[in-house]
Structure 1
Amino acid sequence: MSVKSSISLTDQQDAFARALVDSGKYSSLSSVLQQGLELLRQKTETETLETQALRELIKQRLEGPFVSAAEMESSIETMIERKRRGLRVGR
């Protein structure tokens, strides 16, 4: 189904859309705007999914085990020392 709609564009937007049509990349101004709206729809959906995934990750992290600062520092030092030994690098 197709819906007719009246829209307003800036002079710059109109010139850009018309240049796309004139170059043959799109058959009409309508197809330029349809493509633009489709890209915006996809971007919005992707951002929504990414936000949901980040919220879920944060929730899992908050509900998971916590490591104290001292434990984290010790773990980092152990990792660094292991890497140094593997690379045979002195302090």
Structure 2
Amino acid sequence: MMAAGFGTSFALTGTTTTAMTAAPAAYAGTASALFNTTRQIGSAAGVALGGTLLATAAGYGAGLRTAMAVGAAAYLAAAVLGLYCVPARPAEH
């Protein structure tokens, strides 16, 4: 669980930078608000889903493994979506 916490904290800097540099300067405020709103909703949904899986799975160990596996799958899905949805940055001369 500590590794997941460290990974999340290191990933936030990169995702914030990527989201903000992909948005035009005129929409910086809107992009920031949208990014932070979706991050908060995703965090709340992840905690709720993880807690539900932990509480309903048979035994503490099974619930923890199930919750961590679902969380890992969600991170993988987000990484794949990021590869295809974030536009490439134009080369600067």
Q: Does TM-score exceed 0.5, indicating one fold?
A: no
Bigger Rg over Cα? 1
Higher RCO structure (Cα 8 Å, ≥6 apart): 2
TM-score of the superposition, structure 2-length normalised?
0.38
For normalisation by structure 1, the TM-score amounts to 0.38
The structure with more helix, counted as a fraction of residues: 2
